Structure 1
Amino acid sequence: MLNCYIVLKVKLYISHMRLETMKIENELEALRKENQLLKELITQLPSAFTYVNPELALSVLKEKSDTPPSILKMTSTQLTAHTNQRLYLSSSENDSFHQTEAFLSDIFDLVAHHVVFIDEAGIVTLCNLQAAKDHGVNRDEIIGKHLRELVNIPDEQLLTLETARTGIEFVDREVLDKNYGILNTRILWNTDGSIKRVIGTFYFLNAIKEAEKQAIAGRIAAGIAHEIRNPLTTVRGFLQVLQASADADTKNLFQTILIPEIDRANKIISDFLSIAKPAEIRSEHFEVKEFLLNHLGRILESESLLYSIEFHINIDPSAEGTFILGNKDELLQVFLNLFQNSFQAKNTDPLRIHITCKRQENRLQISFSDNGRGIIPSALNHIFDPFFSTKDTGTGLGLSVSKKIVENHKGTMTASSDENGTVFHLDFPV
């Protein structure tokens, strides 16, 4: 009996060791493939370089020709000379780093964070699409210009420039200016000790910051709904009861001031709740041209005729026959809010409102523009914040509600403005 037990334990142990061996072999195979992939990627780089990592006591040598990189052990002398990780580029005159940047550009365009290369003078030599998009610039036009023209921040606040000046790299440095996020910088050195490039990577956290703001708004909205809406309903009910036995003048007071003001307060609460909590959209597929011309156009054209506004809708041929998934009534509310804002922002010139629509690959882009007074730069970054308003009588919820509706349709809503007027940009998936 004891022998059978020992045999069973041995078999179980052997089986367990086989499983562990298979697991180790699979992990080794995965590491081998990763190593092969990285070597193939480095082989494709047109520039020669040496990468030193004193912590691992290893260096990577990449020759100019299309040969795999060599991984070399560092001697004690080399370890003493290098205390930090460094990347040295070949100083050969025939070796062009521009080829390497062109090669890397397509790769960095797939990265969701900002990646920017500058030279020692602060000139941008590489900018990935995400950085260009978040800063609102044309990526091809910013190449060759100074970094300040990309981020619109004074030079003394640019940490990437500071790295270029001082040679000190930043690791996970928190940035608290208008471009909130986490910055890292790395230096690419020439073999003569001069700086070839400074690489700045920026984890853009403004979207997370906005999400936190929305979460706070949600908690506030829940408190408002509980503490105010129920008492308002009770007060409105008593006013209706009192109205029945009141004289004519008092009834008129109830009908024209008291009850309408309570209904107005209740609507403000409802609008705020629509910003803070996700909404269920009764969606349907509808054709954009038909919606803009027949559904929206007829309403705004009558309003424009009433107030002598020049109103025009232009639909690019690329957008004809395009369908989107959404709720017509909710999107109608967005454009009515924008129309009202434009009317309230008109100056002495006759008001002109233009809506343009075009398709860009799988995105539908709609712009709503006017020639009104425009929005001052200090207010432009806050126009979508709940309860922010530049008007004395405004509640500050119209644009917040509009943006929430657009986001519920998986779209985005942004604005640009100057002394010539304001343009709202709406972007929807087709």
Structure 2
Amino acid sequence: MPRPSSPGGGASPPKTAELRALVAALSPDVRTTVVPGLVDEIVERIRAAIPAYARPPGSAYNHVIRTAVERNVLGFLDWLADPARPLDRRDELCRKMGAFEVMEGRPLTVIQSAYRAATQVAWSRIRAMLDDRVASVLAVSALAEAVITYMDDAAALSREGYERAKAEACDGRAAARLALLRALVGPASSAGPDPAADWPLPDEVTLVALPSGTLPVCPLLDADVLLDPEDPAPYLLVPGPLTGDRRAMLEAALAGERAAVGLTVPRARAADSLRWARRLLDLKDVLHDGTLTLCEDHLMSLWLLADGALMDQMTRRGLAPLAPLSERRRLPLVDTLAVWLRTRAPATRISEELGVHVQTVRYRMRVLEHLLGDELADPGTRFAIEAALRTHRLSARSLDARPAPCPPGTGT
């Protein structure tokens, strides 16, 4: 699609044979050899020139600036190579950067200054690269025009996002979306379409729980993702399922912060998705997969840990016959029982998994059969014992200890 140089016009790179030859002559691995250093240089110049952007290098704020610079630099290379190639992600991020300025309460001139600083650094680096090449005045002039055209386009997109955000703040769309979000996750979800929100109701939703006091980098969120920043336990609503693209978006917006993702559910069950996500977040010491932890990866664990007191009673009752044993004797028996319940494998395989002699396994199984009797033959009892052992293992992860489960006041 044509690249707009302003909200009402269209432009492509200057079409000259000299420019095409110059672009073709540039190093084919410029994306790996030049872009990373150029992005670093632009970010540092912006942070040095504009106090409002001078945040710590590792902060989420700095992360969003770097992402915007990198996406614009790579977009420029794509635009030169193929002016018809869509740059939708770059365009949307530029608009969001403008909207972010409104959220931060800054005038439009601040981000415009950032674009000017970026243009100066980019052109300085390009001229340094051209010093080692034979390039005609016409080609250099065309390339300079391309840089200015592209950056004017980016600045115009940010201005568009800024003005739109200003208008939304006035017309109440943000407030309407927040009210709609809260209605969706309310105790009796009966939210209906709200024209003021300009947000079509999806059939399915996925809720994401954030730690208290944590907020994502808003410009990196997709435009249709809703956020309640005022809740003591902040959360997001993602329309539809968590696709690969949605997950990448969330990880970028979280900038290293943790979050828990609930199950994708029908819209009317949004509160359930949020409740499960928050429960998973509460279990961060037990269930933790990195930045994003997904409920769908821990369904059994969530169920087993849903009622700790009840599961503790199941553990104590199910393993009561082992309680009189000392911990030294009880631990190996519990380990062997857990593997047998999970695999129902012969002694030879269990011995391989436990790393003990097969005769040791057979001895332990005879002791377990003596202590538990016919209970091991009952499917219901086996299920209860296995659930209890799984719960014990999950709980032990957060304790940095592994006492064998047994009823209170027993075992030596």
* TM class, shorter-length: under 0.3
Structure (1 or 2) with the greater helix fraction: 2
The TM-score, its normalising length taken from structure 2, stands at 0.27
Structure (1 or 2) with the greater strand fraction: 1
Which structure has the greater CA radius of gyration?
Answer: 1
